[in-house]
């Protein structure tokens, strides 16, 4: 990853409380959008991620691994 790419990613910040909304939306729709993916990246870059948020991310990644979520190339869910 180039230095400028890393700098851009490190500037992404998760809106407080957004992880629970993201988890609920992805879980109910069964789809993960580009915006959801960026939200997950932002969450993973947070140094002070709450244990509950980390557990939510783990559950989403597990669902992706098991094929329970569909990755879609859309900005947001419809």
Residue 26 belongs to a domain: yes
Q: Do residues 64 and 32 make contact, with C-beta atoms less than 8 angstroms apart?
A: yes
In the chain, how many domains are there? Answer: 1
Residue 75 in this model has a pLDDT that exceeds 90: no
Any domain includes 58: yes
Domain span holding position 66: 3-71
- For residue 10, being part of any structural domain is answered with yes
- Res. 68: pLDDT tops 80: yes
Is residue 76 situated within a structural domain? no
Domain assignment present for 34: yes
Question: Three-class SS of residue 40?
Answer: helix
Asked whether residue 15 is domain-assigned, the answer is yes
Task: Give tens-digit pLDDT for 6-64.
Answer: 445 455 566 667 788 889 999 999 999 988 888 888 888 877 788 888 899 999 999 99
Determine, yes or no, domain membership for 50.
yes
What is residue 12's predicted lDDT score, i.e. its pLDDT?
56
Structure tokens at 16: 């407080």
| pTM of this structure | 0.71
Identify whether the C-beta of residue 74 lies closer than 8 Å to the C-beta of residue 36.
Answer: no
C-alpha to C-alpha distances, 67 to 5, 31, 47, nearest whole angstrom: 29, 10, 29
pLDDT of residue 3: 54
Question: Is 78 part of any domain?
Answer: no
∠ CA(37), CA(13), CA(70), 5° rounding?
10
């Amino acid at each position: 990853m180039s230095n400028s790419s890393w700098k851009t990613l490190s500037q992404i910040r998760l809106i407080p409380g957004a992880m629970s909304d993201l988890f609920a939306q992805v879980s109910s729709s069964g789809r993960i959008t580009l915006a959801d993916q960026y939200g997950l990246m932002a969450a993973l870059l947070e140094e002070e991620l709450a244990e509950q948020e980390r557990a939510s991310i783990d559950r989403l990644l597990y669902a992706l691994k098991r094929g329970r979520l569909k990755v879609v190339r859309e900005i947001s869910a419809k």
